[in-house]
Structure 1
């Protein structure tokens, strides 16, 4: 599912425009599985599934597979509907250069929400 992130984000012109000043790489961990996501001027350039020996990433977002599953459900329950809500509940760990994450928080919220189940596919 995370492999579709690149097409979903890059297909949203508004989101790409919102991230036009964002160029970074970050690590997304879903349980024991790591993904290195590279962004250049708001476009996701690559999503590389681990294991990644020495990732070069500005920051990392780590949560259990169950928590990500709730976040990516069609209608996430309260407390699982937002990245900051996950952090507040202490089920999502954000580590590293959090300035990049917080400066572009809306971009990351909307980009990761692109993986939510929609319509009949849910």
Structure 2
């Protein structure tokens, strides 16, 4: 699921431009699977799949695998269409330093939307 993030984001120049000031490392947990996503100036530099021993990250997005599956559906059900909808349903936990996430919220929402589109091509 998260493995295709590099291609989904880096080939969209407008999305990379939107995130040009974003350089961070986020942890995305899909159930028991963990992914470290390195972002450098809006480009996805790497996506590494865990398990990790004490990974270093700025913020983490954690949700059960079935919640992510519903989020990445071609047309998600209400309550699964947005990261904050998952948060409201208490399915998503956002942890760590939230400043980079909140300051670039549209960028992060769009990278996950790009991944949804890429998944269903």
Query: What TM-score does the superposition give when structure 1 sets the normalisation length?
Result: 0.94
C-alpha distance in 2 between matches for 1:103 and 1:118:
25
Matches within 5 A, 1:6-21: 6-21=6-21
Matches within 5 A, 1:68-107: 68-107=68-107
Provide the residue aligned with 2:24 in structure 1.
24
- The superposition leaves residues 36-68 of structure 1 with CA deviations (integer Å, 9 ceiling, x where unpaired) of 000000000000000011111000000000000
Per the TM alignment, residue 118 of structure 1 is displaced from its structure 2 partner at its CA by 6.3
Q: Indicate the RMSD between aligned Cα atoms, in angstroms.
A: 1.5
The more displaced of 110-119 and 82-91 is: 110-119
C-alpha distance in 1 between matches for 2:3 and 2:85:
24
Per the TM alignment, residue 2 of structure 1 is displaced from its structure 2 partner at its CA by 1.7
Structure 1 gap ranges (5+): none
Query: What TM-score does the superposition give when structure 2 sets the normalisation length?
Result: 0.95
Aligned residues: 121
